[in-house]
Structure 1
Amino acid sequence: MLSKTFTTAALALAASTLVSAQTSTDCNPLEKTCPADPGFGKNNGDCDFTKGACGNFESLPGTTLKYNGNGAVFSISTEKEAPTIRTGKYIFFGRIDVVVQAAAGAGIVTSAVLQSDDLDEIDWEWVGGDNAQAQTNYFSKGNTATYDRGAFHAVSNPLGSFHTYSVEWTSAGVTWLIDNNVVRTLTAANAEGGAAGLPQTPMQVKLGTWVAGRKDAPQGTVEWAGGYTDFSKAPFLGYYKSISIVDYAGADAPTSKSVKEYIYGDHTGSWQSIKVVLGDGSDDSSDSSSSSSAAHSSTKVSSAASSTKAPASTTSAAEQTTTSAEQTTLASATSTPAAPTKSTGGSGSAGNGTVSSTGSVQPTKPPTVPGNAGSRAAATLGSVFAVGAGLALAQFLL
């Protein structure tokens, strides 16, 4: 485990090597009228990947997955691979609980991301050179102008065992949890930009892995990810065992209503402007808006964060251990991802390990991976997984 950390000067230098934010979308609702976002509503968003592919997700071009007792196997053997899946439907506030064993290997990044068409973003991220921490991050409207939103959270053996990582998202803010224990809370009071800086527009869920330790990556990015990737040790395997997706449909608790779609009512990107169209075609926006207003004004994250129980991980030691023979069998013949067809993901910037949000449980020592404070450059693959906790911006699928 590497232990060097960036100073403030080094952080500034690393950040200066990055291109400007490369988050993009085929249709940004802040700029023009875009197609509606289909909603999950009351429909079941659960997936048990140990049973195979899940209909709630679609694979991005170039993604080939295997499935076994550990779930969906995301395999990387070359720099150009970035296996990624995303939901076809959106949640408008809600909760996700994903059971993950992140990929081990210097330079390999595993990510679970919520992202909207106007580039609001909520992230979980794990780097393959750090087996003691997970990282969280958030962005509003693709704004990656500063590098102080990220946070780091101690977790036991994330690269060798399964844990349940959760996001509870309401109009009042975001709560991140590990194994159903709150590790970070974001509200208007501690969000950059206040209430306007909170993620608040309908989001897809995206899961994937990508290579930050590429030979063409900026030095800060490589150090943040734990070093250059040694492909003689490939394949690098990340496992997504299961996921639960619950849509709140514009309110601050699970919806019991059938939802057809979410429509941006104007170009503000505020949650109050989003129209909730029910399955029968009627407009439920007024109900959703009034339901959420009280919670928003109090700047308290929904109590569902503590009352909603995360799915338990019952993985046996045998399931958590993959033999080298199995790894060889699971190597994916994934081709280079083709150009995406919807939006490319937001990008991120991580803090320096001392950033703490209200309710966050932080390690008492600095991040153990060099460059955690520093940088992440845009991945240059056509539909690469970008995620937030490094710095500005691995390009995340569309």
Structure 2
Amino acid sequence: MFSKLLSATTVVLAAASLVSAQTSTDCDPTKKKCPDDAALGKTVTVDFSKGSNDLFKVADGTKLTYDGTGALFTINKETDAPTITSNKYIFFGKVDVEVQVAPGTGIVTSFVLQSDDLDEIDWEWLGGDKAQAQTNYFGKGDTTTYDRGAYHPVANPQDQVYKYSVEWTKDHVVWLINDKQVRELKYADAKGGTRFPQTPMQIKLGTWVAGRSDAPEGTVQWAGGKTDFSQAPFVAHYKSITIQDYSNGVKNAEKYSWKDGSDGSYQSINVITGDGSSDDSSSSSASSTATSTKASSASSTAKSTESAKSTLTTSTVSASASASATSSGSSASETATPSGTESQSAGSSSSSAPASQTSLPTTSGAFKVGFSSAALSACLLAALML
């Protein structure tokens, strides 16, 4: 009987979409001809404490304020979702964001890299979770599995500024907190590279409400519960962002051009340089040898963390257990400390990360798909009758 119950649970979990990537794109170059992507082609640092910056487009309905702490992303009601998006793309690179995330049950702060064909790399924080941050990735918008998300210990991200980073090359993605690696995804581990993020990406920063009154049950459970707007405003403080565009190893990049019939591989992207020429050789070049950072070398010294893969048991229980995951947290010796301070276990981040990293089905972006408890109950009832 127990095996029948497990089998029924497996069926309903496989049928239910527990996670969703950011599911919109203005033009998917794998489906039709699209305009070339404007390349950043350099390294840029934006200090939001000095005000707005023309590198970013402000989403409709977004009203930001700026002070000495940076850009303030404020939520007063459940329809608020302040968001900014870079108007230039990077083709592999490194992004560092200094942020004090928004508090509040059901409030989500997010830092996302996303491409035209819905490759995606994420950092996300729940306002009611004071013990950890989440990472996730998607390839080609594929949400057919839910083993990509992971949690990483960090102390009071709502009360302290931390630096969260993504280093992204054609070989791997590395996530870091205060320059210490907490996770690595290798190309081959993302379905043999077919779901590895590898096409030019924009950078998106924002906050949104997962604990909405009309949100799906699974989304609300993941977010920790409904949002109490009597506690508003909920404010995230983005202090700064540094963006390095590796341009797939090509200097003076101005545009990224998708070849006709692109399959969404990095080899199908041409780098257009300042003189208007196209360097097809860029598609097979190393994405960055000269620009590779300490995170890359750290990951290659056998201290790399495991890629986000969970068992069915983890996937089954974690969709409704974000709150309990928070309480399990980690000891002080494993927890990241604010930007500019020393960890209590300095130098142990990479080696301890596998023990503290838990693969969980997380959600990403403003459009979420919840899981149907009614469907689960019906399936379990059917199993009992077998």
Q: Please state which band the TM-score falls in when normalised by the shorter chain.
A: 0.7 to 0.9
Match of 1:333 in 2: none
Return the offset for 1:155. 0.7
Query: Does structure 1 conserve the Cα–Cα contact (< 8 Å) formed by 2:150 and 2:358?
Result: no
- Give, as a single letter, the amino acid of the residue that structure 2 aligns with 1:246: Q
Structure 2: which 5+ runs fail to align?
1-7, 299-313, 319-324, 329-349, 372-386
Match of 2:267 in 1: 272
Query: 193, 210, 214: which is aligned to 2:208?
Result: 210
The two structures have a TM-score, normalised by structure 1, of 0.72
Query: Does structure 1 conserve the Cα–Cα contact (< 8 Å) formed by 2:105 and 2:128?
Result: yes
Note if 1:86 corresponds to 2:81.
no
Structure 2 residue matching 1:33: 3-state secondary structure: coil
- Give, as a single letter, the amino acid of the residue that structure 2 aligns with 1:204: Q
Query: Does structure 1 conserve the Cα–Cα contact (< 8 Å) formed by 2:102 and 2:109?
Result: yes
Match of 2:37 in 1: 37
Task: Sort the Cα spacing of 1:67 and 1:225 in 2 relative to 1 into closer, same or farther, 3 A.
Answer: same
Query: Does structure 1 conserve the Cα–Cα contact (< 8 Å) formed by 2:30 and 2:262?
Result: yes
Task: Sort the Cα spacing of 1:116 and 1:105 in 2 relative to 1 into closer, same or farther, 3 A.
Answer: same
Task: Sort the Cα spacing of 1:169 and 1:293 in 2 relative to 1 into closer, same or farther, 3 A.
Answer: closer
1:202 and 1:222 map into 2 onto residues whose CA distance is 32
Query: Does structure 1 conserve the Cα–Cα contact (< 8 Å) formed by 2:147 and 2:361?
Result: no
Structure 1 or 2, whichever has the larger Rg, is 2
Query: Does structure 1 conserve the Cα–Cα contact (< 8 Å) formed by 2:108 and 2:210?
Result: yes
1:92 and 1:36 map into 2 onto residues whose CA distance is 13
Query: 285, 293, 316: which is aligned to 1:291?
Result: 285
Q: Tell me which protein shows more helix as a share of its residues.
A: 2
Structure 1: which 5+ runs fail to align?
1-7, 296-300, 309-349, 368-372, 379-384, 394-398
Match of 2:366 in 1: 386
Tell me the alpha carbon deviations over residues 313-353 of structure 1, each in whole angstroms, 9 at most, x when there is no partner. Answer: xxxxxxxxxxxxxxxxxxxxxxxxxxxxxxxxxxxxx9647
Tell me the alpha carbon deviations over residues 151-187 of structure 1, each in whole angstroms, 9 at most, x when there is no partner. Answer: 1100111111000000000010100000000000110
Query: 293, 296, 305: which is aligned to 2:295?
Result: 305
Query: Does structure 1 conserve the Cα–Cα contact (< 8 Å) formed by 2:25 and 2:116?
Result: yes
Query: After superposition, where does 1:317-332 map in structure 2 within 5 Å?
Result: none
Task: Sort the Cα spacing of 1:302 and 1:69 in 2 relative to 1 into closer, same or farther, 3 A.
Answer: same
- Give, as a single letter, the amino acid of the residue that structure 2 aligns with 1:33: K
Query: Does structure 1 conserve the Cα–Cα contact (< 8 Å) formed by 2:41 and 2:253?
Result: yes
Query: After superposition, where does 1:1-398 map in structure 2 within 5 Å?
Result: 9=9, 16=16, 23-42=23-42, 44-191=43-190, 193-251=191-249, 257-265=251-259, 266-286=261-281, 288-292=282-286, 302=292, 304-306=294-296, 352=318, 361-362=353-354, 364=356, 373=360, 376=363, 385-386=365-366
Return the offset for 1:67. 0.5
Return the offset for 1:362. 4.9
2:198 and 2:72 map into 1 onto residues whose CA distance is 31
Query: Does structure 2 conserve the Cα–Cα contact (< 8 Å) formed by 1:182 and 1:360?
Result: no
Return the offset for 1:303. 5.1
1:35 and 1:9 map into 2 onto residues whose CA distance is 45
Query: Does structure 2 conserve the Cα–Cα contact (< 8 Å) formed by 1:154 and 1:363?
Result: no
Return the offset for 1:22. 7.1
The number of residue pairs the alignment matches comes to: 316
- What value does the CA root-mean-square deviation take over the aligned residues? 3.2
Tell me the alpha carbon deviations over residues 348-368 of structure 1, each in whole angstroms, 9 at most, x when there is no partner. Answer: xx96479xxx9781564979x
Structure 2 residue matching 1:224: 3-state secondary structure: helix
